[in-house]
Amino acid sequence: MDAPIRILHLEDSDLDAELIEAALDAVGHPCVIERVMDRPDFMAAAVADRHDLILADYVLPTFDGISAFAIAREQCPETPFVFVSGTLGEETAVEAIKNGAVDYVTKQRLERLPRTVLRALAEAGAKADKRRAEDALHALNDTLEIRIAERTRELAASNAELQSQIVERERVEEALRLAQRLEAVGQLTSGVAHDFNNLLTVISGNIEFLEREVTSERGKRRLAMMKGASDRGANLTAQMLAFSRRQRLEPTPVSLNATVSSMRDLLQSSIGGAVKIETTLQPELWPALVDATQIELVILNLAINARDAMAVGGSLTIETANVTVTGAQTRPEQPVPGEYVMVAVSDTGTGMLPEVVERAFEPFFTTKEVGKGSGLGLAQAYGFVKQSGGGIRIDTVIGEGTSIRVYLPRVASETEPLPKARRQVDCAGWQATGGKAVLLVIDDDTEVREVTATRLSEAGHEIREAGSGLAGLAALEADPCVDLVVLDFAMPGMNGAEVAVEIRKRWPGMQILFVTGYADTITLMKVGSVGVEGIVQKPFRDGELESKVIAALNSRVPTGLRLVSSGTAGD
């Protein structure tokens, strides 16, 4: 020890005090002794950490060592206490040691005092070291618990984040699988619809030819039944094409408030008087950029579905609103973030189970009885809104009802011009200009091409035919004096779009009219056919082919000029 030993000495005899201090010289270390003789002074001096050792006589005039020991245990319990007395009996000394005194030394044998002092100090040091170790251990345990708690929280947070990532990944994977499934079904559906449209074109065209020749009432009735079946087939393929996003659309600025208001009587008659119709229309609704006819069909289909989901009676609500979508897509049919005009059709019906919601937009999926639904209503709505650049969402609660929300793109500017209306051209007026127009019909399907050529020939045009894109280009190379090319879009080898690109390269300004079972409007716009005036949908309907041919011919270069390739003269 570098510092002197601090000793509190309780002794009333000056002589004994000198003898004891002299005995302490044998400790071999400097000592600083504070001597007291009565109770008040001892109580004042016996303070924790003030002394390294207490030496106390047993018998004093107004005080005694046992009382001093009790005070020391209360006020400075960590300071070692040694009795130094000439009258302390063996029994009393043992009892004192049992109660916590380090040792006792008789004044008759003070030679034992240095060893006793050193041992008392060593034991006190050991106790202090142990106490410090225990305190450090307690502190370590306390901090360990804190660290364990912090680490546990970190692990819990990491685990929660991992679980969230797993859930998000599963959601994204499921959305991707659903999108891929819908895309695959859409491709299959569009291909089937295209092939069926070709078949229906042949059927409906030949029915029209036969109607001119059949005179018996029975034969006419049968032809009418066949034509009705053909029309139903055409409507079915139109729904299939709507799902696959290959239908023809004429997006125009539309007020959905006006649309819903104008449809109220139609909706009421379609769903019956037992269902109450309510409308909640937002004032100052943004105009939607959408095909006006198709959105009416979507609202009507959703209303009929809602009616079928309700028992007798019930309430149907149609709501419009301006909506800003901020959250990311969680399913492929939902809208991406942006501004939309929303129209919602809600019912108070039975609601939809999760497994039904999962497949609701798949074509031909239906929970209705056989013969009660085709399963194409929501599929058609899905294809329409996605092709229009919007989205659709189902909110449903079992036993309470379903709300289907359709999100449509808003018009960027209310001053955006409306698309040009289709021009109606009088066929007789065209023929009055003199001569027949020369038309080149390019279609790989022989029967469809024959129907197309026959109809156009009967309409007064001169017809040339080609069975492929290459054959059509070869025919034009041989004789480019053609007023209009009637071109099938889906053909093996060179498709209609590729053929159109080549025609525009070689004979700029030549008129092209697409005839197709499905209209990929994006591709057609790339080759220059903008709007429905340049597209005829198969199967042909009520003179549409003939009227659009006349419109195309009317918009060509002035009569008397023939289109020729570069460097070739024409009449």
- The domain that holds 267 is classified in CATH as 3.30.565.10
Residue type, 113: L
To which H or E segment does residue 486 belong? strand 484-488
Judge contact between 65 and 40, C-beta under 8 A: no
Q: Which domain holds residue 262?
A: 251-409
- Which of the four pLDDT bands, split at 50, 70 and 90, describes residue 75? very high
Kindly tell me if the per-residue pLDDT of 124 is higher than 90: no
Burial of 470 (0-12, 13-18, 19+ CB in 10 A): middle
- Count of domains observed in the chain: 3
Residue 96 falls inside a structural domain: yes
**Helix, strand, or coil (residue 255):** coil
Asked which of 125, 150, 171 is the last residue of a domain, the reply is: 125
Shared domain for 326 and 452, answered yes or no, is: no
Shared domain for 330 and 402, answered yes or no, is: yes
Residue 566 falls inside a structural domain: no
- Which of the four pLDDT bands, split at 50, 70 and 90, describes residue 370? very low
Residue 234 falls inside a structural domain: no
Please tell me the distance from the alpha carbon of residue 247 to that of residue 238, in angstroms, as a whole number.
7
pLDDT at 456: 93
* pTM score of the predicted model: 0.40
pLDDT above 70 covers a percentage of the chain that reads: 79
Shared domain for 440 and 389, answered yes or no, is: no
Looking at residue 445, the DSSP 8-state letter turns out to be -
- Alpha carbon distance, N-terminus to C-terminus of the chain: 128
Residue 534 falls inside a structural domain: yes
Please tell me the distance from the alpha carbon of residue 279 to that of residue 258, in angstroms, as a whole number.
12
Judge contact between 104 and 98, C-beta under 8 A: no
Residue 559 falls inside a structural domain: no
Shared domain for 68 and 29, answered yes or no, is: yes
**DSSP per residue, 345-369:** EEE-S----HHHHHHTTSTT---SP
The two three-digit tokens of residue 168, written as one number: 């998000």
Shared domain for 255 and 376, answered yes or no, is: yes
**DSSP per residue, 63-104:** -BHHHHHHHHHHH-TTS-EEEEESS--HHHHHHHHHTT--EE
Rg of the chain, C-alpha, whole Å: 51
Shared domain for 399 and 506, answered yes or no, is: no
pLDDT at 425: 32
Residue 280 falls inside a structural domain: yes
Please tell me the distance from the alpha carbon of residue 342 to that of residue 410, in angstroms, as a whole number.
9
Shared domain for 324 and 390, answered yes or no, is: yes
Looking at residue 7, the DSSP 8-state letter turns out to be E
At 522-553, the pLDDT tens digits run 556 555 554 567 888 888 887 889 999 998 88
Please tell me the distance from the alpha carbon of residue 261 to that of residue 254, in angstroms, as a whole number.
13
Please tell me the distance from the alpha carbon of residue 419 to that of residue 78, in angstroms, as a whole number.
100
Q: At what angle do helices 113-213 and 217-243 cross, to 10 degrees?
A: 160
pLDDT at 421: 37
In the numeric block, the tokens 């019912």 are attached to 347
At 470-499, the pLDDT tens digits run 788 888 888 888 999 999 887 776 778 888
Residues 6 or more apart whose CB falls under 8 angstroms from that of 526 comprise: 497
Q: Other CB atoms closer than 10 Å to residue 448's CB: what's the count?
A: 24
Average pLDDT over residues 109-118: 88
Shared domain for 263 and 404, answered yes or no, is: yes
Asked which of 57, 90, 125 is the last residue of a domain, the reply is: 125
- Which of the four pLDDT bands, split at 50, 70 and 90, describes residue 502? confident
In the numeric block, the tokens 């009660």 are attached to 372
Kindly tell me if the per-residue pLDDT of 353 is higher than 70: yes
Shared domain for 401 and 433, answered yes or no, is: no
Residue 238 falls inside a structural domain: no
At 176-208, the pLDDT tens digits run 666 556 555 555 555 556 666 676 777 777 887
- The HSE-up count of residue 478 (CA atoms within 13 Å, CB side) is 9
Shared domain for 372 and 513, answered yes or no, is: no
pLDDT, averaged across the chain: 79
At 384-436, the pLDDT tens digits run 788 788 889 989 999 889 999 999 999 875 444 444 333 333 333 434 345 78
Please state the φ and ψ torsions of residue 289, each to the nearest 5 degrees. -95, 95
Judge contact between 230 and 288, C-beta under 8 A: no
Shared domain for 507 and 387, answered yes or no, is: no
Asked which of 125, 156, 184 is the last residue of a domain, the reply is: 125
Average pLDDT over residues 125-148: 83
Q: Other CB atoms closer than 10 Å to residue 207's CB: what's the count?
A: 17
- Among 250, 237, 271, 502, smallest CA distance to 380 is for 237
Kindly tell me if the per-residue pLDDT of 565 is higher than 50: no
- Which of the four pLDDT bands, split at 50, 70 and 90, describes residue 320? very high
Strand partners, 288: 254, 410
Residue 242 falls inside a structural domain: no
Kindly tell me if the per-residue pLDDT of 441 is higher than 60: yes
pLDDT at 133: 87
Strand partners, 291: 251
CATH number of the structural domain spanning residue 487? 3.40.50.2300
Please tell me the distance from the alpha carbon of residue 343 to that of residue 332, in angstroms, as a whole number.
19
Shared domain for 446 and 356, answered yes or no, is: no
